[in-house]
Structure 1
Amino acid sequence: MASLYRKMVEAVKVESIELSVIKDNDKKESVHDFYTSEAVIEYNPSFELVENKYVSILFNTRDKNARLYMYGLESLEDDRLEYDESGDVYLKPSNTPLALYFKDYYPLIPGTYLATLVADGERYYIPFIVHAKQLTNNELELMKKELEATVRGLAIDFVKKVYNASDSATKAIPPQLLRHFMIIKKHYPSVMAALTDIFNKANFKTRKQYRWTNENRSNKVDQVTMRALQTKSGYDGHLLTPYSAIDYDLPENRWVKFIVRNVLSLLDQFDESLRSYKVKLSQEIVDLRIYASFQESTRRELSEKERVIVLLENYAQLVHRMKIGFQMINHAPWFDEITYKPFTHIPHNLLLDSRYRALYQLHRDIKEEEVEISLDPSFTYQWKRTDKLYEMWGYLHLLKLLCQIGFEPKSGWMYDNLKGDELFLIPHMASGERIILTKNDLSIQFVYDGVIPLAGSATNLEGTPLYMGKNNRPDGRLDFYQQNVYVGSLIVDFKYRPVSNFWVNSKHNSITRQKEMEQLIAYKRDSNSRFLYGEGQRAKNFRETFSPRPVREVWAIYAEPRMEYRNQSFIHDDSIRIIPMNPGQNFDEIIANLQLIISFMENVKESI
């Protein structure tokens, strides 16, 4: 059977179709393997690409109505690209190549993909792979897992220090809207089926009640009837007779009313958050459009944000449909009969009746009180580009190493959101985010992708003690404070490229050195601070005689998949340290370098 299945997905040759990939502008590779089953993605790829390398694709065929669908087309702008009836982008046949990646384009993301080609009434599938340039496939997957594990681990460690379960009742638990929405979305199909059935066939009980009935029409009497007759209460010619009344005001129906109103409240809050985020994103798009005509990279970023807007709109439409669904039960003929009474127990029917149990399971998942760490989807969205993934992994791994050598995070980023919550949603890592860590009298402001002021007048002691020239946005910056006195900084840049692309020792003393070398050198040489070593004449004298530059060292941390090419070096003239760092390697040497910097910062104030 396995051999038969494999035979069904064997490649076929289609002479009438020309499909080629052109790498590095001249290396043309024809694609010959076409498949008739989507299952082919599990087998050998028809072609392979490498991220951040120039590549074009040539697609031509005698069928001028043919279409090629593949990953990467949605980020391009070309007259040969069109949208089909479903809104998907396809490439029309042409005798000229289309650039998939070129300088300043949005890069192809490593992964396994499946292109689809429709021609002459046939549909063909073409699997292809985009490889990471500076990491092996195993390292790339390990980096993603390490990044998520590091974030969750740091969060859990912090929670253990600040969270005390005994006083949780006194702490406000803010709604974690995104997680609640995902839970509601997951349960929505089963809950709607249950609500539809409950609408028409809600649980009820019959109760004996009494009403005054004309004695000529009274066919039921009991002791209550006779007592009322003997006391001569009521109306002449009428009897107080029993009848069976339907009572819907049962505990399980009260639970339904409570759960539905709670869910609608959460959906309203989530809807409002979507609107706020969309307004913010729309303004960012307006700002980007000013530069989109000049920079290809800006056009790519603009395109990505516009797609996020579409995602938000889709979410808003889904929320609208869900709200209509839950509001439906409000129109049930029995719904207004349900009263609000305190819940003293979980009624059996809430658990035994599958319809009511579906709603209770939704409620229970929303109210789950165990500590849970959740990642905001926009956080993982940042991982799409491998260079961004490496940058975030490097920053958070240094944070993890600082924790390993005794520093404790106190505030900033997720640490501002974790205190006192039962559920923790880790936000995305925004540019300029800073995390405050402390150990004894030394504190560190660890800044991610933050802009350094160009002039001293724009600086301040607490947030941005540095100013420097035009190279003023390093990937990471560690500002050190000894007993609230600023004592220096460590600048870190994460380079997702070979070391030869940003540093060549033979060009250090040459006017031909590349701009990446100038950038690293400028981080130290152009750095200044009005606050270094404190205030007063003594601090000023110390700056002039000991170390006028606040940046102690500059680290260029780079990815290198080949072990034999991983070399660490230190350029003494400019205090630049070149450090290879890949997932899964030993980090003892990096820890040792960190401790040297920290030791200097701890001792420098005593010398002033």
Structure 2
Amino acid sequence: MAIPFKIILHHKMSDGSYTNAIDSEKFVNDERQLYHLSDLMFTGITENRKLEMEFICDDKNARLYMDGLDTIPAQSLEIEGDGPAYLQPTNDRITLYAPKETNNPNSQEYYPFIPGYYRIKVLAFGKSYYSWLKVKPKQITEDQWVAMRDEVEDTLNGLAQDLIIKNSSIGLDLSVPIPVHILRKLYIVKNDFQKWIVALRNISANPRIRVGKQYHLVPHGKAARIDTVTIRYRARHPESRDMVYSPSHVRNYNLLENQWVKKISKFLIREMNDLYNYLKTHKDKVKDEMKRARRYHRGPEEESIQLRLKRKVLGELEEYERFVSRVRSECLFLLQAEWMVEVEEKTPMSVPYSMLMDERYKRFYSLYRSLKTEKFSVSFDSNYDFYWKRTDLLYEIWGFLQIVNALQHPTVGFEVVGGWIYNNEFDSQTIQVPFLEPGTVIELKKEDVKLRVVYDETVPYNANRTTLYNPIYAVEKHTRPDVRLDFYHSEVYLGSIILDFKYRPLHFVWNQYKVYSSNKTDAMQQLISYRNFHSSWSFRNLPIGLRSQFRPIYEVWAVYPKHEGNSDMESPMRDFKIRLMELTPLEEREELFNGLNDAISKVLSTIQHQN
């Protein structure tokens, strides 16, 4: 693809410098294509080595956006409103990273790009172009990098499984809900039911067999076949000249894969019996509750909402009961097949290769494995592809999940009551994790305190555009924090804690030597501006004079990962109410729990001022 610009990287390697222009073939016009490119399409550099960039274009209004640009000195960048930083075409090299000169205390420091993927976007001549810059690790392993994605997937899988008990009508409004493991088994058996039941029937009609030979002495005139074994036998036993040692073909059904089928079928029958007993118990319970509820209603026209809900639950329980009976019948039919008598009833010690190669047996065995491990096949919204490639965004969603989990830790003590994935509905065939869209809210509670965790929502500039549940407005250019924790007591807004996730070394999140200079990075200015958010909803039940004593933002958190370049930094908490919080995959979370507990205690200590 022809591109109307040039991006040239000057990257210092251990053996000297080299110049590398990003090939035009590595750009695409559709951002969605970007997230499906292979690693072979990425331009790669190595971390912690000097990097300069040239952006050359005849369109003087062209813009180059790249993850991490906000960390270089502001005088090198253009920033419009609250939008991301960008570069304009220039004939000069822009330094993206250079090691600090040890003998020059006034030398500029730059953010060393942490290993990961960094998106490049160019707007030129009215069109958009996208590519990747991949930063490869030099001194660290990729374990934490990989662990972050694995942990996100594991967490989302766990949340998706929780949907079963939170959203299924089975168990709701019942004093003794059906256990989660029972519900899980029910949904596993229903998933792809038609495919595996077809496989079961096909096995019943056409099982795998091994054809062999079996020899018997038969009268000479009745020998159907003669082979070399027959001839050798006659040579050794001349006394049997009136008899022939003749082979006959026999079918052997007692194969390992058929032993597995027998074992799995009996296992399924036991599982279906357990499910049937649970369903019957709860069906009888619902019937008793409906009988008691009818005593207070004289006719169908006066049927209460509660009674109608119980009728719906009863219908669903009966439907599942019929389904379980059908599965049990299919398995019994397979066990009654004539050839099954020859199959030994024992637990095979291994899974034969032939079983995994035959799609029928493989599907039946996969069902067994799923039931044994009680795992769900969970699908993710396709938009998660963006996060898997964008390491900074992956850290952001990983951090968001860590915060939600930490709020539920005993040290902090909140519990989730709704929002995002917790409000999702699903059918028996699919469990899809919804995308974490900007503005997503999760609601939690702790006694009479309500907490709304708001993800990536833009706050307005005007107080008139705020509401009780969107209570903040901005007075500076930065208006989009990654996470906002809004606290309420008796429907009165108490205040907020702001969190922003920075996938970079600490020194490029907050630099104590730049605090009072004009050389602050945009990341530092962003954190300070979040602390200056205003609200006209804080303690709205108090007189205006008392209200003015409370600032709505109690703390701003900068959350960053562990890095070899991190060093002790003077905390900006006292002067700016900014808390620096290290949060890293595969590392302990105790500091996070204690930090949240401390910050939230400050917010909740103001409840006494409501009255």
TM-score by length of 2: 0.49
Which protein has greater RCO, CA pairs closer than 8 Å, 6+ apart?
Answer: 2
